[in-house]
Chains A and B, each alone.
Chain A
């Protein structure tokens, strides 16, 4: 006999890692509540599953709520982090020790005021097999730290401290002037990828890397996993501490951002309001705030204020937040920021102010050769651009090698129909209109022609809007969807106009 309106009980779930998502699922597999770090919910008697997620890891436990309140504490669980933190899944004590020692002992002194520490390691298993190990990889292979002009500061293939035994590691610590630097990785089959590393006055930028396969799954394609890097900022004399709870929290925040999960718990918010010691936690927290349906803009402004106090020498990712919040921001971004989310704000701003990203800057170059899609903004370095990842398009009788951005723009122009009047203007979009009007007279590719309704081939629809009349909303849309600064976009269009006019002349 069923009981109507059974008395509800409380279920409290507390996670010792506060940046942990909690899901409560009832006996019919319905999600009935969720929280971050801590949740207290009223439930009818029943069988419930408590599922928690931290980073990429999940843990599940059933709990029966009957005639009394229940309380569950989820211990910290071992998520995967490239930083050799205590209580994480892929680490060894000797990795922790090497990172702690390496972070406090410079291998090179190039300047003063700041420091960069890079620790790249391989992890394959918790315990060493008794069988003879296969070839031990070099976790620093192809990895180098460079000045912004490309000069090599150190090549970790050979530089730094290292261990070549089971689960090898490489560490490199350099004291240098505050500023922007490049972390470059040579890829197994040629070319390289890069990202910005910012050295801040009074801070050590700590970069931790595991290994990943590039261009295949052979052992010789293993290199440092730049996309999955863990990057923290520590006070100059502190070094790395494997048992620092704030580092663990910051790492969970980074993983939440990487997975686009909303992991801002109450504790983490309180930390962001108050003074936080790790500026990277502030940067991750700012972007996590922006993931929410209704971001707390007051808190975001407080976080940015705190970051300015912690990073008085500046940081391109902080500048990007200032730009987004329409505070006083730099007039130009010549150097790409570290975070991809920061880059999105910068690019969006170029729709109205194209000069923000100068077309010949490193930032503009990076925009056209972005690599990957994770937390960090990575780009292919110029020697890679010539050989890999180009779209190959044949237009008429001319085979043109284009960057990926140009391929996509062509794809868009091919499917856009253009009929009707246009006015001659100086806008590059008007130039495209002209070339489209010329192309109208040539035979369209059969595959495209078959898909067009008859009227677009035969005559103009007076209502149809030609490309020349693209308004600012359309421009904004193109900038955002292509994620290319406006100045670059206009250059590409001009190039297309030139290429297509040449084809028209040839045909």
Chain B
């Protein structure tokens, strides 16, 4: 639409900014909105478009960035007190790639502190609310990004996913979210949480946008030694290839007990649609699934305890006012600067790695990780993709799961194993349950993002895209949607 000059980049951005003005007081998706910089970028985009210079389909597109992505000159807080005033002197690689593509960077979105959480309630600043029901969470940890896209406060967004933090909020907010294969997208400039699990990925209104955004950010980066060398396909060009003969496996461990009835209904309906489109859908098994949660909650905190050791008040961020000596400074700075969930995970991780416990906990978890990955490798010998719910329930209420950390961790059961195995997965809206969006998750072999986008596209063609009541009518009080069935909103890139 922008290329055809039906609407200018500045116009588009202004529509997005107007929407932010209308709903942000209720949604609170953003920590920082970079209005002036965005307008400058939009003007530049319009100049490029009028000269016919269209380097990328992202020219002039307003994109929101999770606040754990370093942006030069723009405060990057990771939703933590300890980085409340941190202004990075460099851009993350994905941010640089978006700038080079001519995208317009709208601002930095809210998240669970240091990406630790599943509801965005762990933000040190404020919780973000779900545009579908303001009394409910948007999911986490990329809750701000998902809510912004769902509310029309950005056209696209980037999030990060360590245990489900892109896919679960996408599911809760009725939008598309993809976690790429580990190594497919550079982590340079992503504030590290768990280095062997973290990946940056797109959160968008529809599958085509997801394909376009993924292409812009994926690919080897010499600045990230864990990034893979591979040829980045034109993901958007193979979306319409269809599903005839496609083999889909549904792991029974993800479809039984513990899954909400409404979620299971949506899953069954999607299975029916896949079969109508010519795919073969069968039950399969990933026997080590019950061990994914304990495995993750040893590995991720262990890596986090190491990564978060750098927050000591020396070179940047918060430093305690009165300290007797440097060790006292470290302890007070960290105790005052970190929230409870972060402290919990640092201690858990420190314990798992400490002498005497390393073998019993961390090393054991690494071995179980091999078994979990093995389950997927075996499943992919028989199936092209696997299908599962993204989350056992739709979005829960704020405060519902904050009393017991383990309860919160359990909401990630459908997403964690994917990060442990390093494989890609996408969440796409499959339907509604009691008026709330339900996401279904397709899981693929390493570097099979193209296949995942293709099957997600097919599902989207049948079920449509979903628009939150708040996005359809920003003046609405934002109470729960009391309709039945899905809403099909067009896939135009209008603000």
The finding on whether chains A and B are genuine partners in a shared complex, rather than unrelated, reads: no
B contact residues vs A (CB 8 Å cutoff): none
